[in-house]
Structure formats: structure tokens, C-alpha cells
Amino acid sequence: MTEAPELAVRLRDATWSSHQAAAGDGFLTGLLRGERSIDDYALLASQHLVVYRALETAVAASGSGLVAALHDEALERTAAIEADLDALGGIRMPTAAAVSYAAQLASLADDPVRLAAHHYTRYLGDLSGGQHIGRTLARRFGAGTTSFYRFAIDDLDAFKAQYRTTISTFGLDAEGEQALLEEAGRAYASAHALHASLATAGAEAAA
């Protein structure tokens, strides 16, 4: 009888199509290609501030379970985003999608497994494809605006490997595993809705 893949592998596989769709996101692609302005980037950073404040507040309130096992203070992004927004001229208005995403995160403070799905989606993305995004944006807008993408972690690959090991070895039961996989899909959907709202907001601002 073939053993089931490790949970971290199943989590990656379950979210792969969503990850690929996010990689082709129109707003972000335009930003990286130089088709959007520094104001669009400031708009994105402002949404990040809303989302990461909510995520990091929920993680701190949770204080236990899988999300606590995964969390490291070096991951926290709120202060870095605030520094970027200072360099970008201040906070822009959050979209309804960002506010909804933040409310979703706040509601999970008592559910460390589902909150861990958002933790995985946000931070592992920042440590992976986010590194390319950060380098590209730094070339366009200056390193002083991209603190968000820089982590005080010596070996990102080793850190990510340990993170995935923690997911697989934490010992979730079948119900917990299913909750983690389901919520990861919702996390990607929330991120997609946020980017879609930015495309609309950017178009309205340019009109």
C-alpha cells in the first residue's frame, strides 16, 4: 500500500493551480512590467498593511497550535510595510476586499489550523516568489520602498524547508488536515480578490 504524501506536499499540490493563477495576476504583472505607477505600488503596500496587521494580530492572539509552531518573529511584516509607506508618501485607502480579507483573518484567531493556512500562503509566498517581486520593485522604485520583501533570515531555503517539515510533523488529525487544505484555497481566493480590487481602484484613480 502506497503511503500518502507528506502534508506539506499535499498542501502545495492542493494550492498549485491557485498559485499559478496568482502568478499571472494582471495588476501585479503590470506593476512588475513597468506598466503601473509608484502610486499603484503604494496602493498595493497599503492593502498589505491592512492584511498583515490583521494576520499578525490574529497569530499573537492565537498563541498556540499549528500557527504558533510555524510562526517566527523574523516573518512579521507590519513594521517593514509601514517603513515602505513612509517612503511612498503615506497610506492609501484600503479596498473593500482588503477590509474583508482582514476580517476573515481576525475571525480565525481561535482556529490555529485555519489561521496557519493563511500564514503559509502569505509568508511562504513572500519568501519564495516574493523575492523576485521585491528585486524588481526595488529596481523600479528604490530599495527604500521594498523593506517588505527583505527578511532577517540567513538561509531562506533552509527556513522554508523547516517550515514545511513542521507542517508535516505537527500531528494534525484527518479533520485538521482537511481544514488546512480547504482554508488554503480560501486564502488564495482572498488574495486574488484583493488584487482584482486593486486593478479597479487603479483604473478609477487614473480616470
Domain annotation covers residue 44: yes
- The cell numbers describing 43, all together, are 496602493
Count structural domains, the chain.
Answer: 1
Domain annotation covers residue 152: yes
Cell 496602493 belongs to 43
pLDDT of 88 reads 98
The closest of 115, 126, 128 to 55, measured between CA atoms, is: 115
- The cell numbers describing 42, all together, are 503604494
Domain annotation covers residue 50: yes
CA atoms of 14 and 18, how far apart (whole Å) = 8
Domain annotation covers residue 191: yes
The closest of 55, 89, 47 to 200, measured between CA atoms, is: 47
- From the centroid of its chain, how far is CA 189? 12
Surface-to-core class of residue 158, CB atoms within 10 Å of its CB (0-12 exposed, 13-18 middle, 19+ buried): exposed
- Which range marks the domain in which residue 55 is found? 36-206
Domain annotation covers residue 99: yes
CA atoms of 172 and 163, how far apart (whole Å) = 15
Cell 493563511 belongs to 118
Domain annotation covers residue 176: yes
What 3-state DSSP class applies to 123? Answer: helix
Which CATH number characterizes residue 176's domain?
1.20.910.10
Segment-wise mean pLDDT, segments of 10 residues, the chain, 207 residues: 73 73 74 95 98 98 96 98 98 96 98 98 95 96 98 98 97 97 94 90 49
